[in-house]
Amino acid sequence: MKIKNICCIGAGFVGGPTMAVIALKCPYLKVTVVDINEEKISAWNGELSKLPVFEPGLPEIISEVRNVNLFFSTDVNKAIEDSEMIFMAVNTPTKTSGTGKGYAADLQFVEKCAEQIANVSKSNKIIVEKSTLPVRTAERIKEILESNKKSDIQFEVISNPEFLAEGTAINDLFKSDRVLIGGEKTQKGEEAVNELVGIYENWIPIEKIYTTNVWSSELSKLVSNAMLAQRISSINSISALCEKTGADIDEVSKAVGLDSRIGPKFLRASIGFGGSCFKKDILNLVYIANFYGLKEVADYWESVVKINNYQTDRFFKNIINSFDLNVTSKVITILGWSFKKDTNDSRESASIYLTEKLISKGFTIKVYDPMVNGNRIKEDIERLLIDKGKLEEQTAHVLTRLKICDELYESVVDSNAIAICTEWDEFKNINWNEVKTKMDENFLVFDGRNVINKENLNSLGFKSYVIGQS
């Protein structure tokens, strides 16, 4: 099969940037990104400054290849019909009901996607799993394809998980540590794998393209995310100990990271990890381990999530304990809503949980983030409240205590405390003298990302708390 046309179903963080880079590096390919969300596709086709995914370097690539060999469309059926290779990059959230509730991945979008491909296809297709999926999902996809196909056509399903970090996705795509491709150990399966290898070979050295069986590829993605999250939870647990003993978490992290067997990455203490993958993938791993009767394995990985929740809760309690019981007139500014800097993704951000907890205690919350808009912030809170079973009127009451600000110094006016929840570079260069003139009494600063100079702030009359410092 000669690949000339590819499409990607799903125009989110994975699908958009990945297809943009493939289009750039493979000008002979026609690349189409499709999604049923008309607003999202319109944004991809709109102003470069307003792309639905904020990622450094992405607008420049889009400007070069859009409407040349990269196209964004809502016509899913046509894209499927025209393509020889189809990437599936749809959402796989954690199940909220049924078997595996709270742990297992919800595959309804993947399954609907497979059904649509089978119903539309009139020629052989290679299906590429790009979403993060549980082990043996490829088997389920193949079953759906085979049972719904309309003619004697062949489908090959291969796994190609993404290893992108938000904020550095373009660099991760250009200079991948590895590209992982899993396929069936059959002639047709190996041919499908080789077709995808041929695409990546246009810019990735062959020695960095690693091929496995499908099941190893699917599991490797879950394990990679779980182990990265484990490192964060490990150093966060030590930050609590540092605060009690007088040790400095930054110094401990650096000392430990100098060990070549460990290395420095993912050893920075914080309010807790967020994003669409870490928590979801760990819980999926927990579910799989329990499914196969490996309780001790499941308990071990679930503890990574528990420590993360503990870290956010610890930060919340430090704020609460700094005020007396009468907080109804108190205002706290949250600086940062995205789960990390250089992205507009706020999924599982600690800011969401912190804000809801503080409002429930009676505080008014003002929020500033340079990239996450106000509508998204309100939607995040509403979604959390719905998950907690809150009624519409209760949600409306909570939102009256949530104020969205468009500018940093505006957000601190009349505030009693500031909580830094995202490590945006802007927050490392705050004029604290100006901030103090705008704040109300207390002058409290809670740093959940270790971006402030504690001694400097204290000398200016602030009372500051930094994670991992006594």
For the annotated catalytic residues, the residue numbers are 277
- Residue whose C-alpha is closest to residue 113's, from 256, 183, 8, 245: 8
Structure tokens belonging to residue 278? 């870490």
User: What is the full DSSP assignment across 404-451?
Assistant: E-SSHHHHTTT-SEEEE-S--GGGGG--HHHHHHH--TT-EEEESSS-
Structure tokens belonging to residue 430? 């705050």
- Exposed / middle / buried, residue 38 (Cβ in 10 Å: 0-12, 13-18, 19+): exposed
- The CB density around residue 399, as the number of other CB atoms within 10 Å, is 14
- Residue whose C-alpha is closest to residue 240's, from 294, 184, 313, 158: 313
Q: How far out from the chain centre does Cα 75 lie?
A: 27
Q: Which residue has the tokens 């994670």?
A: 467
Half-sphere exposure of 467 (CA within 13 A, CB side): 28
**The total number of residues written for the chain in this structure:** 470
Q: Which residues of 274-306 are buried (b: 16+ CB within 10 A; e: fewer)?
A: bbbbbbbbbbbbbbbbbeeeeeeebeebbbbbe
H-only helix segments in 247-334: 249-257, 278-291, 295-320
Which H/E stretch holds residue 188? Answer: helix 187-200
DSSP state of 93: P
Contacts 24+ apart (CB under 8 A), 143-151: 144/111, 144/114, 144/115, 144/118, 145/114, 145/117, 145/118, 146/118, 147/118, 148/114, 148/115, 148/118, 148/119, 149/118, 149/121, 150/118, 150/119, 150/121, 150/122, 151/122
User: CA angle at residue 195 from 193 to 200, to 5 degrees?
Assistant: 95
